[in-house]
Amino acid sequence: MKRFWEKVRKSEDPNGCWEWTAYKADGYGHFKADGRMVLAHRWAYEQLVGPIPANRQCDHLCRNRACVNPAHIELVTQKENILRGVGPTARQARQTTCKNGHPLVAGSKQRRCLTCRATRDAANREKVA
């Protein structure tokens, strides 16, 4: 426990991040505990809050991967964690208009732009005629 906390720099702000200052990979702090490498934020959460269910992931509400403050971590499903992120899947999920600015509507398997589709279908009918 002492060895872990020596590697944490707590913010002066009581609601601030607790920055992991030791080894990081892809922004996440890593810590050797019980002979194996663990993610520092997960270890801190389990020590201060409790176990993390197998079907849950830690989402950093502060968006700081090096933060080990359990108050900044929410347990969520993998899908929710991905959709809250900044990757292509998350960006596309938040998209509400097509590249031409028309609204997207839900289809059976994907969202689509009915305006662009109608324009494309009309152009294809003209080519055939």
State the pTM of this model.
0.75
Q: What is the 3-state secondary structure (H, E, C) of 19-68?
A: EECCCEECCEEEEEECCEEEEHHHHHHHHHCCCCCCCCEEEECCCCCCEC
Q: How many CB atoms lie within 10 A of CB 129?
A: 5
Q: How many CB atoms lie within 10 A of CB 88?
A: 8
Residue 25 has what pLDDT?
Answer: 96
108: which DSSP letter? S
Residue with tokens 């208009």: 97
pLDDT tens across 40-97, in order?
Answer: 999 999 999 999 999 999 999 999 999 999 999 999 999 999 999 888 888 888 899 9
pLDDT tens across 3-22, in order?
Answer: 999 999 999 998 999 999 99
Q: Is the pLDDT of residue 107 over 80?
A: no
pLDDT tens across 17-45, in order?
Answer: 999 999 999 999 999 998 999 999 999 99
* 41 exposure class (CB count in 10 Å sphere: 0-12, 13-18, 19+): buried
Give the amino acid at 104. Answer: L
Backbone angles phi, psi at 26, to 5 degrees: 55, 30
CA 93 – CA 76 distance, rounded (Å):
17
Residue 49 has what pLDDT?
Answer: 98
